[in-house]
Amino acid sequence: MERSIYNFAAGPSALPVSVLQAAKKGLINWQGTGLSVMEMPFTSPEFTQIQDQAQASLKQLLNLPPNYKILFLQGGAYGQFAIMPMNLLARNTRADYAITGHWSRRAAIEASKYGQINVVTDTTDNNHTALKPEYNWSLDPGAAYCHITTNETADGVQFHKLPNTRKVPLIADATSDFLTAPIDISSFGALYASAQKNIGPAGLTIVIIREDLIRKPLSITPAVFDFSQLAKVNSKVNTLPTWAIYIASLMFKWILQQGGLEEMSKRNKIKARIIYEAIDNSQFYHCEVDCTCRSKVNVVFNLPTKQLEDEFIKQATERGFLNLKGHSATGAIRVSLYNPISEKAVSSLAHFMEEFALPYKQSATLSTSRCAP
Ligand SMILES: *Cc1c(COP(=O)(O)O)cnc(C)c1O
């Protein structure tokens, strides 16, 4: 089955049609049990099998080192902005935060309710269009952790190389680039991602944490967000988001079948290059983000005027290119290129962009690409 629309939403975002079709089976009668996955007790053997499968596939995808735990929670990434400090700032109350865009700023503000937050770098002065070199960061060697947002979903900025925080554990909000490329988990103390960008439906948050960081949390921490309790009972402190975990298990399996994270990365690089070239060669669209940190996942760009941006979105929507409006905090146009987005969808959009720009172009000569491929 082909859908005649292309959904470029930033989240909740597109899922592969084959995953939706597989989900349909679990909706009414999961593996001949006569039960919908939604109707199963979360402690039942049937659901436990689904959860174990999800966990096993994710471990395989990530090549997870044995000293890391996978936790399933609710509350979203925004919930983790509070839950991480609650769990990690009981003994040492100081934490470093890198502010590189909309989401990391929110993370730092939320964390400041629970500890002493030191902002190590802040790119507000360049409007979050470029990361600052690490030698300019004011890292605190005594911090409990250093928090970054690997990909700023609203600003289109991505770390292409992780900062070296030495002995201080690196904690990452990886929500929007999780599973889009291979990742060395051992570089992180912990990372988290809410599901609705790359994993499945909203309602599930995945936390991956090194075992030695799972300790007694701040005493105000709700039991359902206490990592030490969650780790003890396979995340079953209270009812799990069972349906979302089921779809996540189907997504993990789908990524494995496609060839794993290497293959995702290969495809995502091609997709990103198609859109950035369409922008850079256009003399019409422009991307403010520095070449060294342009996101391969969320491509954010502008047209010459706000009016033209509105017209672009209107015409794109009519043509079946949906959800291209940028984040409410940043405006502009945003193309989200998560794993299920096909190269065909992206090249069709690039073609539309070229067509749309044609009447507005000053001259027919093309400028050369601003960023080397
Ligand atoms: C979407 C997003 C969030 C917010 O996620 P919720 O699940 O709505 O809490 C936080 N951080 C990043 C990087 C995101 O992309």
Contacts of 1 (CB under 8 A, 6+ apart): 17, 21
Contacts of 296 (CB under 8 A, 6+ apart): 158, 177, 180, 181, 268, 269, 271, 272, 337
Looking at ligand 1, which residue's alpha carbon is closest to its atom 8? 76
Q: What is the DSSP letter of 360?
A: G
Rounded-to-integer distance, Cα 153 and Cα 328, Å: 12
With CA atoms as reference, report the closest residue to 175 among 224, 208, 130: 208
Q: Is the CB of 203 under 6 A from ligand 1?
A: no
What does each C-alpha distance from 366 to 6, 156, 312, 350 come to in angstroms?
27, 24, 21, 15
Q: Is the CB of 97 under 6 A from ligand 1?
A: no
pLDDT score at 369: 53
Rounded-to-integer distance, Cα 175 and Cα 191, Å: 9
Atom of ligand 1 nearest to the CA of 174: 13
Q: How far is the CA of 337 from the centre of ligand 1 (A)?
A: 16
pLDDT score at 366: 47
pLDDT score at 276: 98
Cβ burial, residue 86 (10 Å; 0-12/13-18/19+): buried
Determine the residue of 13, 74, 78 to mutate for testing ligand 1's pocket, defined as the one with the most ligand atoms within 8 A of the Cβ atom. 78
Looking at ligand 1, which residue's alpha carbon is closest to its atom 12? 175
Q: Which stretches in the chain have pLDDT values below 50?
A: 1, 364-366, 368
pLDDT score at 343: 97
Q: Is the CB of 198 under 6 A from ligand 1?
A: no
Atom of ligand 1 nearest to the CA of 151: 13
Rounded-to-integer distance, Cα 128 and Cα 360, Å: 28
Q: How far is the CA of 11 from the centre of ligand 1 (A)?
A: 8
Rounded-to-integer distance, Cα 214 and Cα 354, Å: 51
Tokens of 349: 């959009």
Q: How far is the CA of 151 from the centre of ligand 1 (A)?
A: 10
pLDDT score at 328: 84
State the pTM of this model.
0.96
Looking at ligand 1, which residue's alpha carbon is closest to its atom 13? 175
Tokens of 177: 């680039």
Contacts of 330 (CB under 8 A, 6+ apart): 102, 154, 155, 300
Rounded-to-integer distance, Cα 247 and Cα 225, Å: 22
Q: What is the DSSP letter of 171?
A: E
What residues act catalytically? Answer: 103, 173, 197
